[in-house]
Amino acid sequence: MTTSNTQSSTELHLKSARELKAGLDAGEYTSLDLTNYFLARIEGLDGQINACNFVCADSARAAATAFDADSADSNAKSDDTLGVLAGLPLAHKDILVSVDSPTTAGSRMLEGYRSPFDATVVARLARVGMINLAKLNMDEFAMGSSSESSYFGATKNPWDTTRVPGGSSGGSAAAVAAGLITFATATDTGGSIRQPASFCGVTGIKPTYGAVSRFGIIAYASSLDQAGVMARRAEDCALVLEAMIGQDPRDSTSLEHPSLDLVGAINSLKGDQPLAGKRIGVPRDYLDARLDPCVSKVTSDAIAVYESLGATMVDVELPNTDHAIAAYYLIAASEASSNLSRFDGVRFGHRATDAEDLDDLYEKTRSEGFGDEVKRRILIGTYALSAGYFDAYYIKAQKVRRLIRDSYRQAFEGCDMILTPVAPTPAYKLGEKQDSVSMYLGDAFTIGVNLAGLPALSHPAGFSKDGLPIGAQLIGPAWHEAQILAAAHAFQQVTDHHLQEPELSKMSAQSASQEGAL
């Protein structure tokens, strides 16, 4: 590692994709230097936040070295859009299978599991030259909103390590916020990209259902799961998402769509009123007493910023979203109970050792391998799908889902996008939400989007009095991710919430390890 170069660039973890790429092209550092820089930050800081389940240092260094050798040979300066990402490190949520490391979905059930193939998202990002450094912690099988249900221990919020980072993609959000990595993949079944992005002060987008292939993403609820990305900046999310999207023959629900020119939409923003003519819908009944006052304040401030950028605020109604939590937790649990039946001790991962017969093997393996929240979901889902209850629960929930989808469709007749809070509160204390239902209630603003299959993002919009980050959510009509990313980019041109960094991240990786923080 050419330490002299990277030591003089101590702020590399705050830089954008384009800035990082410019340094690479100018020869200020190599891809291997960048890789080593972020590996050192992971080594120095991750002990405080537990964001990484696995670090793939060897394969990352090998890929970076090969990239550097290739670029020296071809002397290539990439100016195509996705060429910007070539040679830059990223990390994946530990739910995307990859051959370079184990994949566990945060569960004992998959402890030590190694996939023989890469998820399509992993392969696509590798194809544009990105280098995977680590697999990031998460709630077990993505079921949760706090990242406390991981078999590998809770991830902590870098802004206050006594607090949760949100979930289920808490490792992805915490890693980006602490500058362990510039970009992280994540998945969002019911808010798992947007809520942790809000709690950790980073930008995160969940695309339209079908935009990104689910092949190789360990399934939780197949009709809701989508992969997306987190980074400090909306522009970086646009770049990485653009590399991820596209039809994949191995996922029949994936689609090619012409409107997904994400980076183009950002590049075509113009002037100091870049959102002139845009109507942003605000569901006023979302801004009621259920919200922590600091979330109301940050949301009102965000509205003022969008107005200053030329957008017009309009009132919209989302009448059926009150029922979203109940419908979501029935549908997601039902699909989970089916998807997780594949973990039986025979084909994947954990296997109980002292089973007497096949039934006993299933029972012991699943009792030992799954944590409490996962078992709870499997039981609820099995109940909701069982003969006699199917119509009353599962079918009813699907009907509510349709009504929710129709509510959004109607709302978008009067506006181009919708602005809401992401979560009713900022990050809460580790261990604070002991009963599942109080945690489920925190998903009120995010899960309707999944039920309707829409694109939505969370971007940093301010801080609480105690210095905890708070995000704002922009929801678009299906296949309009370009529009919400461009709006968030415009917001980030006139604000700096997304550029703030927690104290923990300001410590150099070296001083963190010297202080025995590991």
Residues that bind ligand GLN (CB under 6 A): 142-145, 168, 188-192, 220, 332, 443
Q: Is residue 241 within 8 Å of 262, Cβ to Cβ?
A: yes
Query: 204 by DSSP, 3-state: which?
Result: strand
> Which is nearer to ligand GLN, 328 or 491 (by Cβ)?
328
Strand-pairing partners, residue 5, are none
Nearest to 439 by CA among 106, 141, 197, 145: 145
CB atoms within 10 A of CB 382: 16
Q: In what order do the strands lie in the sheet with 469-475?
A: 52-55, 131-136, 89-93, 183-188, 226-231, 203-206, 456-463, 469-475, 417-421, 279-282, 312-315
Judged by beta carbon, residue 105 or residue 128, the one nearer ligand GLN is 105
Q: Which of 205, 190, 166, 192 is nearest to 51 (CA)?
A: 166
**Cβ closest to ligand GLN, residue 145 vs residue 182:** 145
DSSP secondary structure letters along 435-462 = SHHHHHHTTTTTHHHHHHT--EEEEEEE
The smaller minimum CB distance to ligand GLN, of residues 35 and 436, is found at: 436
**Nearest distance from C-beta of residue 405 to ligand GLN, angstroms:** 18
Pairwise CA distance, residues 177 & 458, whole Å: 14
Minimum separation from the CB atom of position 5 to ligand GLN (A): 39
The contacts of residue 309 (CB under 8 Å, 6+ apart) are 272, 273, 274, 275, 487, 490, 491, 494
Bridge pairing between strands 203-206 and 456-463: antiparallel
Comparing CA positions, the residue from 135, 99, 144 lying closest to residue 117 is 99
Nearest position to ligand GLN, beta carbon: 192
Active-site residue, from 15, 93, 135, 433: 93
Q: How far is the CB of 210 from ligand GLN (least distance, A)?
A: 17
Q: Output 144 or 453, the one with its CB closest to ligand GLN.
A: 144
Q: What is the DSSP letter of 317?
A: -
Min dist CB 286 to ligand GLN, Å, is 18
Establish whether 93 is a catalytic residue.
yes
Q: What is the DSSP string of 388-450?
A: TTTIIIIIHHHHHHHHHHHHHHHHTTS-SEEEEESSSSS--BTT---SHHHHHHTTTTTHHHH
100: DSSP letter: T
CB atoms under 10 Å from CB of 3, counted, come to 11
CA quadruple 94, 121, 235, 220: dihedral sign: negative
Catalytic residue among 172, 192, 436, 505: 192
Q: In sequence order, which residues have a C-beta less than 8 Å from that of residue 404 and are 6 or more positions away?
A: 320, 321, 323, 324, 327, 448, 451, 452
Nearer to ligand GLN among residue 155 and residue 189 (C-beta): 189
Q: Is 59 a catalytic residue?
A: no
Cα–Cα distance measured from residue 297 to residue 303, given in angstroms and rounded to the nearest whole number: 10
Please indicate whether residue 222 is annotated as part of the active site: no
Among candidate residues 78, 150, 168, 464, the one labeled active-site is 168
Q: Which is nearer to ligand GLN, 192 or 198 (CB)?
A: 192
**Active-site residue list:** 93, 168, 192
